[in-house]
Every structure is written in C-alpha cells, then in structure tokens.
Amino acid sequence: MMATKEGTAGEREDSGVEVRVIGHPIGKGLFATKDFRTGDVIFEERPLVSCQFLWNAAYGYLACDFCMKPLEAAEENASRLAQNPQLSLPFPECCDTKKDTFIECPTCDASYCSRECRTSAWNQYHETLCLRSYMPDPSHPLVMLQEAWKQMHYPPETACVMLLARIIATVRQATDKEGAMALFMQFCHRTVNEEEEIAHKLLGEEFQDQLETLRTLMEKSVWAPEVQHWLTSEGFRSLVALVGTNGQGIGTSPLSRWVRNCDNLDLSEEERKKLNQLIDNVYDQLEKEAGGFLNNEGSGLYPLQSSCNHSCNPNAMPTFPYNNFQLVMTAVRDISAGEEICVSYLDECNLGRSRHSRVAILRENYLFTCKCSKCEEQAGEPDVTSEEEMEEDDD
C-alpha cells in the first residue's frame, strides 16, 4: 500500500495529524488525531524547497522563481497558450495577477512576485546560485548543468536538477547546517538498487554516464565541505533518488484562477451562459495549441505530504488553492481519528484502470507493490492490463 519511508515520527501540536512509524518496508505514515469531514483542510504546508521545471520555464511559462505564483495576467496567459494575440477575456477584475509588486534579482534575470519572495530566495539559496549576469554565460557550470538536464529529461517533466542545487545551496547558506541537513534527510531512503532504478526512470538507458555528467557539473557549481558527501557518486545518486521519489508536483495558472473567480460573479442566467461558452471556447483553443501543458509546473519537497502513503482509494488530496507553492491537503471523504491519511500517487485516469495496470505503474515509478484495500478487494481479478481488457471488449 505504501512506498518505503523513514524518518522521525512525531505530532505537530494542535494540527490534527501525527507521523507514526509503521515499520519495514513501509517506514512511516500520517495519521489523523481528530475527525475530518469531506472538504475539510487537514493541513497546510510550505515546501522546504521548490523549483519550476526547466523546460516549462524555457517555453515561457512565467512564474515567481521562489513561490511559483504566476507572473502573467490571465488574458496574457490564455493568448500565449492559444497563440492568438486577439484573444480577449472579460471581467479583468477576476484576474489575481498584481504586477505592481513584481521585482527582479538585481544581478541576474530571476523574477519574483514580491520583494518578500526575492529576499526569501536570496537568504535561502539564491546567494549561492545567482549567475550574477542578465545574459547567462553558456560556459558557467550552472548553465551547463541546466542544459545537460534538459537534454536528458524532456517533457512531460517530473523532476528538475535545480531542485537538487537548491537543496545543496540551502544547506550551504544555513546558519545551522546540521539542522538544515537533517530536514532533508528525513525523506525516504532507498537501497542502491532502488536508487539506480529511480535514476534509470528519470534519465533513461544511459543513466550511469548521465548521473556522472550531472554530478561533475553540480560539484563545479556548488561544492563546499559541508555538502561534499552529496557530491560523491553514491551521495549524488541518493539525492537524485530522494527528489525522484519525494518530489510533489506543483501547478499554478492565472487562467484557472480567473475562471474560478468568474464563478463567483453575480450574473444573470443569460450572462452566465455566455461566459461559460466563452470559457469553453478558450479551453478548446488551448487544447488545440498547448495540449495538456497549461500550467506553470514544478515540484517541491514537503515533509508532511511526503509522509502520506498511497492508496488507490485515497481519503485526501493535495491542492494549491493559493496559486503558489503553498500545499493544502484536503479530505476527499470522511476521516476518523486514528485513520491513516492516504493520497493517490496516480492521476485520475490511471486511478480508474485495472488493478494489474495500477500495480504495474506504481511498481515502475515508485518501486512498491500496492496492497491497499481497493487492490486487496480486486486481488482475484485476472492479471490483465486495462488495454487488454479493452481489446477483449472490442472482440
């Protein structure tokens, strides 16, 4: 039912949740210490570190370099994605983007939604990682690192090498370096074989050579005595596996927020119908030009969220209602005190597939065999994939 997780068990005071050690091979899990009803917020959490995906940024998806809040207005976003300069959205007051607070790093091209985010980034990791140039030097190790990663990990993206760089830089810049290190070491650890499987999944057939290329460039970029163990071959492989296993996807969008705010408008039935038709038309255009790539996308490391194990019948779901990196874990069904809080590692489409297909996907991507209640109930079903079932129906 769960991926292997290790770490210190403990309860967040007055939070209604508690991390408990479950034992091998599961590791740990998150449990409710009070009742939650469907729709209740279970907890909110900021990531220890987060980062926008590199190809996502390269293709012009504009987001704050710290919190991933959109830096485009809804109309700009829709027009760019639809490749339609004439596209216009009504009700501009429903757009959350406030450009008067935007600010850039004074020594590189990093952009932020606010002075607070710029300061937070600089104090946490950006002082180490700042290129100190508005025109990135192709020979700079960090620029070379990013370009190398992009040639190894194409869209759809699931991780980002700069998340590793930010982890290392965070420890380097921390006043309490041992404490900062401990925050990241609480995430799950893998065996050598499992780490290699994760690296293989992220980087492909030539993952051994690619890992060494990335490690060498990372070492040139961020080496320091306090992080040298992460820059050995074994340490770097472990760091890649940590991010590959524990990274939580983050998605933000100015257009989706505009649509949500439009839902709250006081409109006549005819006006509402007209607006809904316009929104449907906009999304039809976006589907034609951008496919499923509509959001600013990235990933982050969240201690509490990472303690939530998988179930094919989840009782909770991570959401991003603030349109930034702030995660809100929400109950999707009633949860009783003492019950484990589980999420789905699968998207909605894969969650609806056969037990055999779900188990295969989870084994390939997360290296565990699911034994949740839904899988146990379906254990007697034939071991065929959803595609095979569809072919039999066609026959």
Crossing angle of helices 233-246 and 192-203, in 10° steps, is: 70
Cα atoms in the 13 Å half-sphere on the side-chain side of 310 = 27
Determine the topology of domain 17-46+302-380 in CATH: Beta-clip-like (2.170.270)
Which of 102, 52, 96, 101 has its CA nearest to residue 256? 96
Q: Encode pLDDT of 260-296 as tens digits.
A: 999 999 999 999 999 999 999 999 999 999 998 999 9
pLDDT value for 6: 42
Backbone angles phi, psi at 82, to 5 degrees: -85, -10
Q: Rounded distance, CA 199 to CA 243, Å? A: 10
307 touches 19 (CB < 8 A): yes
Q: Rounded distance, CA 247 to CA 135, Å? A: 30
Count of beta carbons in the 10 Å neighbourhood of residue 91: 13
Report residue 61 as tokens.
């998806």
Q: Counting beta carbons within 10 angstroms of the beta carbon of residue 323, is it exposed (0 to 12), middle (13 to 18) or buried (19 or more)?
A: buried
Q: What is the pTM of this model?
A: 0.89
- The DSSP annotation for 71-87 comes to -S-HHHHHHHHHT-TT-
Cα atoms in the 13 Å half-sphere on the side-chain side of 267 = 15
3-state secondary structure of 10: strand
Q: Encode pLDDT of 318-377 as tens digits.
A: 999 999 999 999 999 999 999 999 999 998 899 999 999 999 898 887 878 898 999 999
Which of 249, 238, 253 has its CA nearest to residue 345? 249
Q: Rounded distance, CA 236 to CA 212, Å? A: 9
Task: List, for the chain, all residue ranges whose pLDDT scores fall below the cut of 70.
Answer: 1-14, 25, 188-191, 200, 383-395
Intervals of CATH 2.170.270.10 along the chain: 17-46+302-380
